[in-house]
Amino acid sequence: MTVVVGIQTTDGLVLASDSATTQQLALVGGGYATSSIWNSANKIFNLRKSWPIGAMTFGRAAIGGLSIATHAKDLRLRLSGAMPDTAFPALDDDTYSVEKVAQTVLDYYRNQSNLDPGDDLGFIVGGFSATERRPEMWQVNVSESGDTIECVVAPGDPGIVTQGMTDAITRLVDGAGLGLGAALEKMGVPAGSGDAAAEQLRDQLRMAWAWPGMPLGETIDMARFLVETQINFVRFMPGDAMVGGPVEVAALTKHEGFKWVQRKHYYNAKLNPEEGEGL
């Protein structure tokens, strides 16, 4: 499973994620399903080196035997022109847009995908368009039930986008957990009306955590806090810890581009300084 958080303020945006991924295994003796939880998955990607364009993934962890991270590196080579591909041409320094990058992400992964029904793949794509001074975020969903792409935080608007297991974050930011609708129906709200009533309550309880003038340092701290809160929330719940592992954080600004703030490596970066500057 996954928790990913994107926070956008006036001057930039921050992407944060956990590192957990679940491998579903076949049924074993006695009819019990088992799974393995690994805590070293890569979910945040720089889609064009030195440019303020990045993405996070949620949902399916691999396609065609390759991780989503490996596919993202292949796509980055195409977008940079290092791997010429007429189907996915290099980005133009002067005209690229976040929307166009998000559409390319959808097209690329749709081209790679052989998804089963319900086996969805999603991305948050964010950054700065070539001619735009303000950041924006888009959400991409690749699904057998229908692909979608939409702007989830408009250029320059403050906002928080979350995906995956987010109940702890929802309780904090929106004021009520994901199960509120069902709980309200148990308390007498007419059947089928619980979710609508819950959303009305959230509208009254929701707090504005992301502010237009918030400094990037505080935005980074908030994103890390929300991911860590969800991880600890799941840690102390019954059952498997479906989110967890190292927290990764990246920040994007117009002039500094994509910068890692907190990152894991499977190798010692100090022993591989040039490689340490990779994706």
Label residue 185 exposed, middle or buried (CB < 10 Å: 0-12, 13-18, 19+).
Answer: middle
Compute φ and ψ for 276, nearest 5 degrees. -65, -10
- Band of the pLDDT at 30, cuts 50, 70, 90? low
Instruction: Give the separation between CA 171 and CA 148, rounded to whole angstroms.
Output: 27
Residue range 191-239, pLDDT digits in tens: 999 999 999 999 989 888 999 889 999 999 999 999 999 999 999 988 8
Worst-scoring range by mean pLDDT, 74-78, 114-118, 141-145? 114-118
R_g over Cα of the chain: 19
Report yes or no: 107 and 88 within 8 Å, Cβ to Cβ. Answer: yes
Contacts of residue 14, defined as CB under 8 A and 6 or more positions apart, other chains included, come to 5, 6, 7, 216, 219, 220, 222, 223, 249, 250, 251, 252, 261
Give CA–CA dist 207/173, Å, rounded.
Answer: 6
pLDDT-derived band at 261, boundaries 50, 70, 90 = very high
Q: Regarding predicted confidence, which is higher, 42 or 239?
A: 42
Query: What amino acid occupies position 40?
Result: S
Q: Tell me, what's the pLDDT at 117? A: 65
Q: Is the pLDDT of residue 27 over 70?
A: no
Domain count, the chain: 1
Q: At residue 37, what are phi and psi to the nearest 5 degrees?
A: -110, 120
Range of the domain at 74: 3-277
- The rounded distance, in Å, linking the Cα atoms of 100 and 91 is 9
Which residues, in sequence order, are CB contacts of 133 under 8 Å at separation 6+? Answer: 254
Which pLDDT value is given to residue 24? 63
Residue 239 backbone class (left: φ over 0; alpha: ψ -120 to 50; beta: rest): left
Query: Residue 178 has what pLDDT?
Result: 87
Would the pTM of this model clear 0.85, i.e. be above it?
A: yes
Place of tokens 């944060």: 16
What pLDDT score was predicted for residue 63?
87
Averaged pLDDT of the chain:
90
Look at residue 118 in the predicted model and tell me its pLDDT. Answer: 66
pLDDT band for position 1 (50/70/90)? confident
Rounded to a whole number of angstroms, the distance between the first and last alpha carbons of the chain is: 22
Q: What is the CATH number of the domain that holds 160?
A: 3.60.20.10
* Strand boundaries in the chain, DSSP class E: 3-8, 12-17, 21-24, 35-38, 44-46, 53-59, 62-63, 66-67, 121-127, 136-142, 148-153, 159-164, 248-253, 257-262
The pLDDT of residue 273? 76
Q: What is the pLDDT of residues 119-153, one digit of tens each?
A: 789 999 999 999 999 999 999 999 988 899 999 99
**pLDDT tens digits, 141-186:** 999 888 999 999 999 899 999 999 999 999 999 999 889 999 999 9
The dihedral over CA atoms of 157, 90, 260, 156, expressed in degrees to the nearest 10, equals -10
